[in-house]
Chains A and B, each alone.
Chain A
Amino acid sequence: MFVQQISVFVENKKGRLADITKVLAENNIDISAISIADTANFGVLRMIVNETEKAVQVIREAGYTVSITEVLAVEMEDKPGGLHKVLELLGKESISVEYLYSFVRCPSEKALILFKVDNPQKTVDVLRRGHFRVLSFDEVKAL
Chain B
Amino acid sequence: MLSKLIWNKPYECMDREQLLKLQSERLVSTVQRVYHNVSYYRNLMQKRGLVPEDIRGVEDLSKLPFTTKQDLRDNYPYGLFAVPLSEIVRIHASSGTTGKPTVVGYTRTDIVSWSELMARSLTSGGTDKNSVIQIAYGYGLFTGGLGAHYGAERIGASVIPISGGNTKRQITIMKDFGTTVLACTPSYALYIAETMAEMGIDRSELKLKYGIFGAEPWSEAMRREIEEKLQISAIDIYGLSEVIGPGVACECQCKNGLHIYEDYFIPEIIDPETGEVLPEGQQGELVITTINKEGLPVIRYRTRDITSLNYQPCECGRTLVRMSKVLGRTDDMLIIRGVNVFPSQIESVLMEIGETEPHYLLIVDKVGSLDSLEVWVEVSDKLFSDEVRKLEDLNRKITHEIQSLLGLSVKVKLVEPKTIERSEGKAKRVIDKRNQ
Q: Which residues of A contact B386 (CB under 8 A)?
A: 5, 7, 44, 46, 67, 69, 116
Q: Are B416 and A67 in contact (CB under 8 A)?
A: no
Residues of A within 8 A of B391 (CB): 9, 39, 42, 44
CB–CB B415/A11 < 8 A = yes
- Docked complex: A49-104 residues within 8 A CB-CB of B: 63-67, 69, 98-99
**Which residues does chain B contribute within 8 Å of A64, judged by CB atoms?**
416-417
Interface of chain B residues 93 through 131 with chain A (CB within 8 A): none
A10 touches B416 (CB 8 A): yes
Check A11–B416 contact: CB distance below 8 A: yes
A98 to B388, CA, bound (A): 10
Q: Is the interface of B mostly helix, strand, loop or mixed?
A: loop
- Contact, CB under 8 Å: A98 / B418: no
Question: Interface-forming stretch among B56-64, B250-258, B330-338, B376-384?
Answer: B376-384
Which residues from chain A contact B379 at a C-beta distance below 8 Å? 9, 42, 65
* Bound Cα distance from A98 to B389, whole angstroms: 9
Whether A99 contacts B387 by the Cβ 8 Å rule is: yes
Bound CA span A43–B416, Å: 11
B71 at interface by CB-CB < 8 Å: no
Residues 336-375 of chain B, each 1 if its beta carbon lies under 8 Å from chain A, else 0: 0000000000000000000000000000000000000000
Q: Whose C-beta in chain A lies nearest to the C-beta of B357?
A: A65
A-B contact count (CB 8 A): 55
Determine which of A11, A42, A43, A44 lies in contact with B387 in the assembled complex, contact meaning CB atoms within 8 Å. A44
Q: How long is the Cα–Cα vector from A44 to B384 in the complex, in angstroms?
A: 10
Q: Which of A7, A38, A44, A69: most chain B CB closer than 10 A?
A: A44
Decide: A65 near B380, CB < 8 A? Known: A39-B388, A39-B392, A42-B391: yes
Q: Which bucket holds chain A's interface residue count?
A: 20 to 34
A65-B387 contact, Cβ under 8 Å, with A11-B416, A41-B413, A41-B414: no
Number of interface residues of B (CB under 8 A): 19
A43 CA to B386 CA, complexed, in Å: 9
Question: At the interface, yes or no: A37 with Cβ under 8 Å from chain B?
Answer: yes
Residue pair A37, B384 in contact (C-beta under 8 Å): no
Judge whether B381 and A65 touch: CB under 8 Å: yes
**B411-428 at interface with A (beta carbon < 8 Å):** 413-419
- Alpha-carbon distance A9/B391, docked complex (angstroms): 10
Contact A98 B417 (CB under 8 A): no
Q: Which residues of A contact B381 (CB under 8 A)?
A: 65, 67
A:6-29 near B, CB below 8 Å? 7, 9-11, 16
Tell me the A residues contacting B by CB distance below 8 Å.
Answer: 5, 7, 9-11, 16, 37-39, 41-44, 46, 63-67, 69, 98-99, 116
**Interface residues of B, Cβ cutoff 8 Å to A:** 379-381, 383-389, 391-392, 413-419
Q: Which 5 A-B pairs have the closest CB atoms?
A: A7-B386, A69-B386, A37-B388, A65-B384, A9-B379
A–B Cβ pairs within 8 angstroms, 11 of them? A7-B384, A9-B384, A9-B414, A11-B419, A65-B379, A65-B384, A66-B384, A67-B386, A98-B387, A99-B387, A116-B386
